[in-house]
Structure 1
Amino acid sequence: MKIIFEAEAEGLVPLKKTLEMKLYPRVIRFVPNDENSLEKVSIEREIKDYDHLLPQIIFKKDRNPEMYIPMQNFSEEEMLMQHIESFAALDFGLRKIYWQTPRITWVPETEDEKVKITMPTYKRSFQYNLPKSEITLTWLQETVVHRDRVMHLVSPLSFFRIGSNHFHNFGYSEAFLNFYLMLEGLFGNGQSKNHKVENAFENAPTLMHAISETVLYLDNDTEKNTHKSWMVNFLQEKGWKYDNLGIIKAIICIRGNLSHYYFKSSRKQRDSFNEKENESIAWITMTICVFSTIKLRLDPFRAGGNQ
């Protein structure tokens, strides 16, 4: 039985015909599109012990059939594509290989293998369920008519927009750094030293309230337990408390770690291929930003409003 791990490529990399290279036990292929540009990268290999890896269709009484895809390890294929991606970006301007969302195809070599396959091809994908609120005329009027009162938020919110785009494309490190820039711009008082930023954050009532609301949300929403557990564990490792001040310390600490890189240091080894480890801090910081904006948008319409 053979399996093909295929990922789409982005970027106008010239390629007139399919390239094929054998790297035992794998075969690597670069496939062009009709415009003579690289469209896909695929890695094929043979699997002898495959029965426990094949997708299954499960039939249950009085229920629709369900697809079951066993846990599959494609770490070697992913690392090989990451290697190609990094060097092709440098040498040919490749933008990305979508190795996180590949198409998996099972290719039987015998009739016995063929009858075992119930789902020959499928695509691994991830997506977020984004809000579906409809934009209204009232929102447009209130946003535009009173724009002078909230003009100071346009630049900080641009970092939120960029961060959100990265987050929903699973670029959690860049997402977090942009959410941090929003908070730093609004509440950091122009400071750059960690201890001074920490002090500025602690003395910003709006930010402290937003963190409290985020903690309350984490405590009450069981679907976000993984994010809370991650934060609690991180703080315990540092010897910090799970409270507003501890979360501020965590945000500033992680911002420092993600802003530097030294390949010989485990602490400074930001891994652009393992974005998943930064999902929780990105989500928590994004939520703090959202809660912060609620008060920031209302303050200009109140007498004596402040941060």
Structure 2
Amino acid sequence: MKYGIICETKCTIPLHREEIFIVNGITISLIPKNGFLNEVSTSVSIPMTDNNYTYIKKATNNMNELIVNRDEVYYKKFIDIMIHLENFLGLHYELEKITWENRKEFWTPENEIERKSNMVFSHSINGKYPIRHEKINMQLLLQMLKENAALNKLKVPLSFYREGENYFKKFRYIDSFKYLFLAMESIYANGHSKSKKMISEFKKSGNLLQGFRVSISQIDNKHKSSCMGLGVEFGIVDWENEIIEFVVRIRGFLSHHNIKSNKYGNPFEHEKYCSITLVLMTALNIALTGELILLSKVNIVEYLLNKQE
């Protein structure tokens, strides 16, 4: 059975015919469309077993379930190849992105037995967050504009927050975390950059602490479990009560990288930081809303309550 993944590219690299390379038994294909590189495919022939093919499980409630089994060793190798290609082509050519986060996995039978046994030949992951369609409250907007001078203090933190939220929606959780931390640092660290000093300053903000309390209470058990597991890696015993120390420690980890040390792992493990970034983003949304209320005469609370009706 041939197992592989296909990823689209965002680039303007001319390519008029498919180019195929075989490296360490893995077939790598550069696939063109309309004269430009359009997709990158990696694949390998492996024996078909119960642990590496995908099938549809029929449930008792008539709801079918897709069971995705993959060869994790090759899957990680494929993603690693995509990252290396992305880095090299991005350095020397006009390539913005190989979309290895949104990919198509395929299982191609290579004989009749595999053809009869396999139930699913491909599946795609095209994740995206829901797009909100909310009307602007013009009265609120006018009041905010009138309070522009009073709100100038929040211009930079809100800009950092917006960038963090945009990266979150693109599944780039590490980038999102960094910008969200900058938003928090710019308003609550009071000019301090040392970890101990920042922790002390962050704990002085009632808005920030309340934001974290509400954020943690709102996330589901899956995200809580993820945060707990990540906390163990960072030496955090009680992540909910040590949330300030937790995010500061992550910030220090993500701000440095030493290629000679295994301690730092892969700086592109975005999924690993999804849950803690969600906690930070929600907390900052609440905290920054509190700052808007303190600095202006705008009745944001009434607006938010009306929006929920």
Pairwise same-fold verdict (TM > 0.5): yes
Which secondary structure does the structure 1 equivalent of 2:260 belong to? coil
CA distance in 2, matches of 1:199, 1:24: 52
Q: Structure 1 stretches of 5 or more lacking a match?
A: none
List per-residue Cα deviations over 1:189-230 (Å, max 9, x = no partner): 222233332332222332233233334445xx4353225524
Corresponding position: 1:284 with 2:279: yes
1:75-154 alignment to 2 at 5 Å? 75-129=76-130, 131=132, 133-154=134-155
Greater shift, 162-171 or 124-133, is seen at 124-133
Report the 3-state secondary structure (helix = DSSP H, G, I; strand = E; otherwise coil) of the residue aligned with 1:170: coil
Q: Match of 1:38?
A: 37
CA contact (8 A) 1:2 1:44 kept: yes
- Note the alpha carbon deviations across 1:32-88, whole angstroms, 9 max, x for none: 120x22111111211222454332233346624443323542112111222222222
Distance 2:16 2:224 in 1: 50
Question: Per the alignment, in what secondary structure is the counterpart of residue 179 of structure 1?
Answer: helix
Could you tell which deviates more after superposition, 85-94 or 291-300? 85-94
Asked whether the equivalents of residues 160 and 182 of structure 2 are also in contact (C-alpha less than 8 Å), the reply is yes
Residue number in structure 2 paired with 1:16: 16
- Is the counterpart of residue 155 in structure 1 residue 156 in structure 2? yes
Inter-CA distance 68–134: structure 2 relative to 1 (3 Å threshold): farther
Equivalent of 1:247 in 243, 247, 268 = 243
Q: Secondary structure at the match of 1:16?
A: coil
CA positional deviation for 1:182: 0.6
SS for the counterpart of 2:267 is coil
CA distance in 2, matches of 1:137, 1:205: 30
Secondary structure of the residue that 1:102 maps to in structure 2? strand
Residue 274 of structure 1 and its aligned partner are, at CA, apart by 1.5
Relative to structure 1, is the Cα distance of residues 109 and 230 closer, same or farther in structure 2, using a 3 angstrom cutoff?
Answer: closer
Q: Is the counterpart of residue 193 in structure 1 residue 213 in structure 2?
A: no
Name 2:210's counterpart in structure 1.
209
Distance across 2 between alignment mates of 1:24 and 1:264: 25
1:19 and 1:202 map into 2 onto residues whose CA distance is 56
Which ranges in structure 2 are unaligned for 5 or more consecutive residues? 299-309
Q: Which moved more, 1:95-104 or 1:65-74?
A: 65-74
> 1:145 Cα deviation (Å)?
4.8
Give how far 1:176 is off: 0.9
Q: Distance in 1 between matches of 2:87 and 2:64?
A: 41
In structure 1, what is the equivalent of residue 306 of structure 2?
none
By how many angstroms is 1:141 displaced?
4.2
Contact 2:174 2:273 in 1 (8 A): yes
The TM-score, its normalising length taken from structure 2, stands at 0.83
Kept in 1: contact 2:51–2:71 (CA 8 A)? no
Contact 2:223 2:275 (8 Å CA) reproduced = no
Distance 1:216 1:65 in 2: 33
* Contact residue 232 and residue 242 of structure 1 kept, 8 A: no
Query: What TM-score do the two structures reach when normalised by structure 1?
Result: 0.83
What is the identity, as a one-letter code, of the residue corresponding to 1:296? E
